[in-house]
Amino acid sequence: MAERGARLLVADDNKVNRLLLGRTLTLQGHQVQSAENGRVALEMLRGAAFDLLLLDMEMPEMDGFQVMEQLAADKTLRDLPVIVTSSLEGVAHVVRCIELGADDFLHKPVNPVLLKARVDSSLEKKRLRDQQKALVQRFATSAVADDLQQSGFALGGKRVQATVMFCDIRGFTAIVESQGPEETIELLNTWYTLMFEAITAQGGVVNQMIGDGLMAIFGAPLPVAEPPMAAVRAALEMMEMIELLNAERAAEGKAALAIGVGIATGDVFAGYTGTQERATYTCVGDTVNLAARLEAHTKVAGRGILVDDATQAALHARVATEPLGAVPFKGKAVPTEVFAVSLPA
Amino acid sequence: MNIIDHSVFAELQATAGADFVVELVQTFFEEAPPMIAELRAAQAAGAAERFRRAAHSLKTNANTFGATALGAKARELELGGLPPDASGIDALQAQYDTAVAALKALSHG
């Protein structure tokens, strides 16, 4: 399928080349702008959206190799397709361009028929890539999607220091029984939207949704400045959201919702697990188990947010907590010091 | 060797439009003399990379118009390294002057 009216940028320091390439592409139905060196080209690419870059290699101020390095390092530009147009001789140059991420290589003077074929093919590839990106983003949070795009897809994991959060709706079974299925799904969707919002705003990643509960990770796959602090801030935000939701529900004569949040900090093994066809970013390890136990313990303790000692210590008293003493959790050799995060009055 | 490869020039006119080619040839006439001057300056200064780049640009442009002999001469300079004297540049200048006359005749013909 030929793309019509794509936005192309031609970067070439030679005026004759620039004019001719621009003319040829315009006649092929595209909107063409041009830059006389790499620096100008980068400025233009950062200032407006382009579908494709046709790049000469030898240019003053900033050459084509430098432009490609800058593009690869730029999150918003690294997917921009690049076709190198050069009359540099020797396979080594071509290889270097491809290694740096060029889609294709055209020798100058550029043959118009070949040019059309390469440009159309690159634009089609970009269209498919954009589609795929949108799909990945729909199913995973953007942090996971970015990580996938950066590191490629590989099953396997690594040990990282992270903060894990579990959260669920208390007494959800009773709520389900008191209302219709449509209302239940609507409530879950509202709840997930609010919780996602609070978690991702603090740099966390929701990696599992289990019925009326969820699991989130702070500090992986992308680093967060202070995972424990970010997780506790997210939890407080979640509590506030629930209060707002309950105010609305009360106005509609509906029962109030309550959530429990458990947070633990420590080593986790994080990575993609599953099969090549269907995989999820997840974390396993003691820290994950502990966070789940703490969440379950909120019912026993009658508190909304419980954290372990490692998380509490990392807060450095910036958030008020109350020690609840040591609790012997299943699967832990020694009892864990548990702290309740104080909610604003 | 042909001064201008007529099939290349005709192809260019067919794909880019004859009127546009008149403008493009004019642009070449404006851009080429500074490139030849750059060749002379780079040779005098012993700047091999500048010399190679200027020869490279001339080669590409000459080939665009089918100026085969000029393109071949420019390529010889591009790949030959920094010459000890300006004789090669003088030869290229002569090729350029011949090509200019031929291109003028062709683009208005």
- Grouping H, G, I as helix, E, B as strand and the rest as coil, residue B81 is coil
Residues of B with Cβ-Cβ distance to A59 under 8 angstroms: none
- Grouping H, G, I as helix, E, B as strand and the rest as coil, residue A159 is strand
Phi, psi of A327 (to 5 degrees): -120, 125
Interface predicted TM-score of the whole assembly (ipTM), two decimals: 0.91
What topology does CATH give the domain A152-341?
Alpha-Beta Plaits (3.30.70)
Q: Is B44 within the bounds of a domain? A: yes
Q: Are A195 and A206 in contact (CB under 8 A)?
A: yes
Q: Read off the pTM.
A: 0.56
The boundaries of the domain holding residue B82 are: 6-108
Residues of B with Cβ-Cβ distance to A115 under 8 angstroms: none
Q: Is B1 within the bounds of a domain? A: no
Taking only the tens place, the pLDDT of each residue in A147-198 is 655 655 454 567 788 999 999 998 787 777 778 888 888 888 888 888 988 8
Residues of B with Cβ-Cβ distance to A19 under 8 angstroms: 23-24, 27
The nearest alpha carbon in chain B to A22 belongs to B16
- Grouping H, G, I as helix, E, B as strand and the rest as coil, residue A337 is strand
Distances (CA, A) of A211 to A185, A208, A240, A257: 10, 10, 22, 15
Q: Is B11 within the bounds of a domain? A: yes
Taking only the tens place, the pLDDT of each residue in A281-335 is 677 888 998 999 999 999 999 999 999 999 999 999 999 999 999 998 877 788 9
Residue of A13, A18, A20, A27 for testing the chain B interface, max B β-carbons within 10 Å: A20
Other CB atoms within a 10 A radius of the CB of residue A272 amount to 19
- What DSSP designation does A327 have? E
> Which CATH superfamily includes the segment(s) A7-139?
Response regulator (3.40.50.2300)
Cβ <8 Å between A16 and B79: no
- Grouping H, G, I as helix, E, B as strand and the rest as coil, residue A121 is helix
Q: Where in chain A is the domain with CATH 3.30.70.1230?
A: 152-341
Taking only the tens place, the pLDDT of each residue in A322-343 is 999 999 887 778 899 999 999 8
Cβ <8 Å between A17 and B60: yes
Give the strand pairing for A279-284 and A259-274.
antiparallel
Residues of B with Cβ-Cβ distance to A34 under 8 angstroms: none
Distance CA A64, CA A212 (A): 52
Question: How many folded domains does chain B comprise?
Answer: 1
Q: Which helix (H) or strand (E) holds A247?
A: helix A227-251
